[in-house]
Amino acid sequence: MIKLNSKFSQKIPFFFLYAATILTIIPVITIIFVIIKNGLSAINWEFLTSMPRDGMRAGGIFPAILGTFFIILLTIIFVFPIGICAAIYLNEYAKNNLLTRVINLAIINLAGIPSVVYGLFGLGVFVIFFKLGVSVVSGALTLSIMELPVVITTTRSALNSVPYSFREASLSLGISRWLTIRHIVLPNAVPGILTGSILSIARISGETAPVLFTASALYVSYLPHSMFDQVMILPYHLYVISTQVPNVRKDMIYATAFVLLILVLGISCIAIVARIYFKRRKKW
């Protein structure tokens, strides 16, 4: 017997799933809306390019932008070469033995450690033990250690997405393992590695805890000129002017948040565009 479609019983699950989806995006949209509404009026060229004045109650946030930028740059230099090389080794060369399994387990678990723990680790190891002081380099090293497992994991999944048959075809032509990786696996994994890396950069740029004790200063009266300098960074500066300094204009606080948001979302958008571009070009 053919039953009539009971519309009602179809609609209930649909409604709940739909409501759950809407619930997840409402806060995001609200945050963006509030920040833009309150902060946009304070954004101007001077705000972006000048030093803070009057105990950070006036002037701009240039040193914080520059400090964040330096730390990101140095972290990129540390983390990607090492992370990508380690991922290639683990994925393409490592034998499945006890050591490899321990390393894999460590990578999975390291990604779950709260970032403030990395901050304290960086303080103990880089700032104090290696005497690098509170500096761009200590902050970048701490962020690198935090981000390394993520970079390794995303790179490995990019390498894994290259079909096994490509490797088999290349090896069967008498091409060595390394040259196969170099000329076949890597070029085809580049899109995945690149998008994963850009997302990692977005994550790094918004992080506060790991750089709080290792790189950031409340206020620095000069622009950083070496990687052993303390710097101001955006997330910490935002925290400082919203809670530590009395009588800061509200629009300045929101404008700072706006810049940080644009930085992180902007980098994520680059990743999205890159992903779309590579997907169009992908031939397999």
Partner 1 sequence: MLKIKANNFNLYYNDFHVLKNINIDIEEKKITAIIGPSGCGKSSFLKSINRINDIVEYMRVNGEIIISGQNIYDKRVDVNSVRKNVGMVFQRPNLFPISIYENISFGLKINKIANNKSTIMAIVEESLSSVMLLHDVKDKLYKSALLLTLEQQQRLCIARVLAINPQIILFDEPCSSLDNVATKKIEELIMKLREKYTVVLVTHNMQQAARISNDTAVMICGRIIEFASTEQIFTCPSKKETESYVTGRFMI
Could you list the residues that contact partner 1 (CB under 8 A)?
A: 95-96, 165-176, 179, 183-184, 188, 283-284
Query: Which residue from 205, 192, 189 is spatially nearest to 267, judged by alpha carbons?
Result: 205
Nearest approach in angstroms of CB 82 to partner 1 is 25
Count of H helices and E strands in the chain? 12, 2
Task: Give the H or E element holding residue 79.
Answer: helix 62-88
Taking each helix axis from N to C terminus, what angle separates 186-206 and 62-88, rounded to the nearest 10 degrees? 140
Residues 6+ apart with CB under 8 A from 210: 115, 116, 118, 119, 122, 139, 142, 143, 146
Question: With contact defined as beta carbons under 8 Å apart, do 192 and 149 qualify?
Answer: no
Q: Is the CB of 158 or the CB of 209 nearer to partner 1?
A: 158
Query: CA 281, CA 271: separation in Å to the nearest integer?
Result: 15
Q: Is the CB of 24 or the CB of 165 nearer to partner 1?
A: 165
Q: Is the CB of 53 or the CB of 282 nearer to partner 1?
A: 282
Q: Is the CB of 14 or the CB of 164 nearer to partner 1?
A: 164
Inter-CA distances, 186 with 153, 158, 162, Å: 15, 9, 9
Nearest approach in angstroms of CB 179 to partner 1 is 5
Q: Is the CB of 3 or the CB of 283 nearer to partner 1?
A: 283
Nearest approach in angstroms of CB 170 to partner 1 is 8
Nearest approach in angstroms of CB 182 to partner 1 is 9
Nearest approach in angstroms of CB 271 to partner 1 is 22
